[in-house]
Structure 1
Amino acid sequence: MFMLMIFAEDSDCLMTEHYFTINAKPGEVPYASALAIAAGGYSPELSIRLSDDIKPGLTINGYVISNDITIARIISQSIGVEDFTGRTCFERSKIDEVLTLCERVIDGFLSSEEVMFGVQLSEFGTIFKRRITIADIALWSLIARNPSLQKSFCGLFNVVLEDCRFLKAHMMVGKFVDKTIKPQIREKQKDEGKFVDLPGAEKGKVVVRFPPEASGYLHIGHAKAALLNQYYQQEFEGELIMRFDDTNPAKENSHFEKVIQEDLALLNVIPHRWTHTSDYFDVMLEMCEKLLREGKAYVDDTDMETMRKEREDRIASKNRCLSTDMNLSLWEEMKKGSERGKQCCVRIKIDFESNNGALRDPTIYRCKPEEHVRTGIKYKVYPTYDFACPIVDSLEGVTHALRTTEYHDRDDQYYFICDALGLRKPYIWSYSRLNMTNTVMSKRKLTWFVNEGLVEGWDDPRLPTVRGVIRRGMTVEGLRQFIIAQGGSRSVVMMEWDKIWSFNKKVIDPIAPRYTALESIAIVPVYISTPIVVEEVQVPLHPKNADIGNKRIWHSSKLLLEQADALEIKSGDTVTFVNWGNIKIISVERSQDVVTQIHAVLDLADQDFRKTMKVTWIAETGSSVASCIPVIAAQYDHIISKAVVGKDEDWQNFINYKSVQFIRMLGEPALRNVRKGDIIQIQRKGFYICDHEYQEKSMYSGVESPLLLIYIPDGHVKDNTKLKQKSDSEPKAEHQSTANCTSLPTQDALTDVCKLYEEIYAQGEVVRLEKAKNAKSEESMAAIAKLLELKKQYKEKAGIEYKAGQPPINNSSLSSQDVSSEITVLNEKIKAQGELVRIEKAKNPKSEASITAIAKLLELKKQYKEVSGREYKPV
């Protein structure tokens, strides 16, 4: 594989963070890609290899991408300049939309004219005023091949031509060079800067390692580390070591070792060796003793607070000059785990006056007479991670130690320990830690969510754990491409989730089969008066990928539509029913603001689909084989409502308690074939992953289990706004909890208003039932009148309007903010647990998971009653 570096064009752009394998045939240089490279300050000539003997495209980890616009998109995202990729969510969304359209032109599904005349440009010719983005580059590459469009869009055409940054790109392509404004001549600088160069790396000789602590589940940050190590191991045909860092017996857990092995299997990361730091405990004991004998380390019994203060003030410990005999004597006490030994630690002598705090005689051994999961009670002393890491790296033959930039201050310490012990020094290569918005990555905080029951478990789709994101529909390939696109960047930034999901979409879009499901609320029947024989028809599961196969649909004289689509239809319209053809609308019947039924005739002879409304539908045949199935779609939102929680802010104030929504749908018959883990697209709704398969009615319960789908975000901004949520800047439970409760002055008033509150709730149910039968009936009108009267009485006695979900609270006993906050939290927990109960019962009502979920729900309701003084009532 040809390893290509993107070189800086001048000394102002020296970087080491962007590297690709881009191949092209002479005379077929990818124009958009060349322009994107030039926009980032890099040299297209040195970044694109021209040859007749290679397959054109961008190669990333063995995966070849040939679409010029897609390559340009990846380059721009890797360079990461906001002016070029979008400053805001709106800009990024708009740019993504334009790039997708341009990609479809390259793939042959749209014409350049369709895209250009459909895009709105500013008066400056570009999408956004006075700025060229990657979307403008993509559009420009389309009109560069079309003289007619160059005239129609001369503003965009000229603004790119007049930008001297792109001269090298035009020269390489061999077009428009004479029209490009030449930059001022200056002394040519040496081309430098490359994506990642592992010094001393040789094919077949690179050894890397991934060393997590076996004390929890892997999250997406760990996934970046694992996949980066795997990437370099594969690029250099080397070796990957998976090492469990078990230097802390209190945290090490064999259960989590199995968990991590399973998580790595989910990521398709297969190491060549599995090792433990504890495999080298005997060797490290000898090395520590060697340092003590040589006077390079000392035993220190200074208490923790004093030691911390001395290190801050750069004061040498009183024990720094202990004799060798005294050090060895105390060392023996430590190894025995005696009371005297437990007061001591071993520190290595480096430089207690150093500006780098990591060099101020760091601790290398501690006395911990605790049982170790692998070695039992054999050892009473354990090395620190900082001491063990360089030793084990060297002994295991690691050539390149990949670490996040947060360890940068410890690099000198790492090398000092190697030198002090006469060990071979691996090369340390740093990369940025992966930080994601609207979530928590801390093991402690993630554990809190699980223990509090605010999530379903460690695989909850809202969590950033490997299991969580994969359950939500993230593919390993999508995650891998996202990580590789980050490259070796050392810039510490907060990444938005839309970036990672947009990579995932590109992986699943070409292979996800398409199905139809309709939201169950007020489904509208469409009656076709044209004589139709009920028939089964085979249609493609994917409009562009025949390899995905076909599915069965049915034609009949009665079709079902969603209410939202029906509201857009008018008499006389021609509507395209996807996978069938055009249908002429005769009449649309409505009741108030709801469409009740539609009458139409077939018009299949009309093949003009360009300006028609497109709808998805399901036929109603009366046949059990062709019957619809119930579908529940889970829509998850961010677990933290604020993108970035400040250091001085309490993260629990920004917990999004309403982070899941369940939508009931009616699914087409073919959805019976969807299996757990399958990723599909519900047409015109988005991508989903199957969390639980549909099951026919059980012979024991007589209840069918619905198909449970989880919505997969696709990187668009709309994903984050589908669920209603409070402002990012407003804390949730603690500061707003009192707004969820109505405060009353006396116990008598409380009794009356509580009674009214319950009567209003009950009357509301009556109104809903009567309106479902006949919204205009006398019974409905009478029920509504009574409901309004009850609400009027409530306002008179409570002093405020009735609000569903905000029950009154007695001031005398429950007026404190803490209590009201607790009620709010309990209310949200009960709602979430109720949804979990429904899901588990749908799978198996007699399972242990169902019984456990029900028991927890009852316990939460009991707590609610104890705190509020009344039974929990769902809203």
Structure 2
Amino acid sequence: MSKEDVGITVSKNADFSEWYTQVVLKAKLADYAPVKGLIVLRPDGYSIWESLRSTFDKKFAKNGIRNGFLPILIPESLLGKEQKHFAGFNPEVFWVTHSGTNEIGDRLALRPTSETLAYTMYAKWIQSWRDLPLKINFWNTALRAEIKATKPFLRTSEFLWQEGHTVHTTQEEAEKEVMKILEIYKNTVEEELAIPVTTGKKSEKEKFVGAVYTTTMESIMPDGKALQMGTSHFLGQNFSKPFEVKFADKDNVEHFAWQTSWGVSWRLIGAMIMAHGDDKGLVLPPNVAPTQVVIVPIYKNEEGKEKVLSKVDEIKKQLETKEIRVHVDDRSGLSPGYKFNDWELKGVPLRIEIGPKDIEKQSIVIAKRHNREKSTLSFNEIEKIFTILQEIQKEMLEKAKEQAKENTIEISNYDEFKSKIERGGFFNAPWCGKLECEEKIKEETGADIRVIPFGSENEDLKCMYCKEQSLSKPVFARGY
């Protein structure tokens, strides 16, 4: 028996980091590549990404966004056009310096992000107001030198993501786009992955380098650490000016354009694993599960096998007419108990058990993965499984919301904050808006401002750190 056939050997509460890694590997979502910091996606892991991609693509298309492709190599001379932006990525950049044995001269960066490349092309494509708005999304990989403290899906040197880049004639239109995208992200993560998020803005210190401001969505994980789930940036004219992204208006007067950029990565898969998994392994929300229902036939002899498999095939076809993703586990030489544990490890939302006695009773046994409840359904109730999957999806989101609520703390006393931050959580605390207070809090506690929630303006309280008048109540937390 191989190591990956052994179940999870640590408790989620006892060793969260080791538990997480075991779930990724043993549920066969991904594996480590030969190069440090890189992972290989296995079919189930990639299927989840494809599901998210499909959902995003449909929503992007409704918003007038089309997909394109960008190459991975960016000349260093191009990056120098927006030095402040690129300086933020410089320590993480992989460089190509040779072609074969020959030096190439102008070094080539392996894309850490694509603003400079995309906007060089946009400057060529845009001449007049008739070319705008220009809205393109790119499904890419990005590379950043994450060699230390790597974690599958959460922190790797190469990762899958989408990055959108839009160009507009007015500031107002661009800012509306920023919020539209953030809303698409929020709805998708909550509806597909059953993970609640808090949306708002990043502080000046934490915003995307080169942006006027950054909007973000943040989630609190069961271990009390925050995870950035996605960002949408208003770039203003900070890139259009150095890259000369200009348009002529209806009076043939030339203007610099207004721009946005935004992205999510396969970090969303890591969040899903952490938010829902348990000591048995992965727990998948039905909407993104590669297999939504697994059928385990139970029989002792050939006569029973033929009878059971005939009924199983009938049930499978019935479920597939409802577009439910079904798998029949008819592997020989393995006990039903082994198969049950195997599918629980892989997180399949619903298991159907059926044997000769069940056929006599004209019923099946169903087992829900998220709460491990078992019940029976009669043969004429099979179609209820579609509704049951919808209920599971809803229940998983409600449970995650409850966990997030339990991990969210209102606080205004800094000494109390310091004593509680070790346990983790989202801390809603008053802040004066000053960079020095933000930096001191980070330096002394390891917690930073994850998000300043929309509507969190507050001038009635005193800053948690300096006791001067507060401006807002950001979420402070330690993060991944």
More helix per residue: 1
When the two structures are superposed, what TM-score results if normalisation uses the length of structure 2? Answer: 0.28
More strand per residue: 2
Determine which structure has greater relative contact order: mean sequence separation of CA pairs < 8 Å that are 6+ residues apart, divided by chain length. Answer: 2
**Greater Rg, structure 1 or structure 2?**
1
When the two structures are superposed, what TM-score results if normalisation uses the length of structure 1? Answer: 0.17
